[in-house]
């Protein structure tokens, strides 16, 4: 699930929330990963984990 798209240093950063359900706990923990999205000349976006 994409939480937001942040503009930083002229580049787009996707903030993606991943819900992780553990067997020990009933609650769902959320981890946030920031992925730098760069578009090349063909218009494709490549994600690099930062």
φ/ψ of residue 11, rounded to 5: -120, 160
Q: pLDDT band at residue 46, thresholds of 50, 70 and 90? A: low
Q: What is the pTM of this model?
A: 0.24
Domain that holds residue 30: 2-49
Q: pLDDT band at residue 29, thresholds of 50, 70 and 90? A: low
Q: pLDDT band at residue 38, thresholds of 50, 70 and 90? A: low
Q: Is the pLDDT of residue 50 over 60?
A: no
Name the domain count of the chain.
1
d(CA 24, CA 15) in angstroms, rounded, equals 27
Q: Who contacts 35 (Cβ-Cβ below 8 Å, separation ≥6)?
A: 13, 14, 16, 47, 48, 49, 50
The pLDDT value given to residue 15 = 72
Proportion of the chain above pLDDT 90, given as a percent: 0
C-alpha closest to that of 1 among 22, 21, 15: 15
């Amino acid at each position: 699930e994409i939480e937001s798209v942040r503009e930083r240093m002229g580049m787009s950063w996707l903030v993606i929330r991943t819900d992780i359900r553990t067997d020990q706990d009933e609650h769902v923990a959320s981890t946030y990963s920031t992925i730098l999205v760069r578009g090349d000349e063909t218009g494709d976006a490549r994600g690099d984990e930062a």
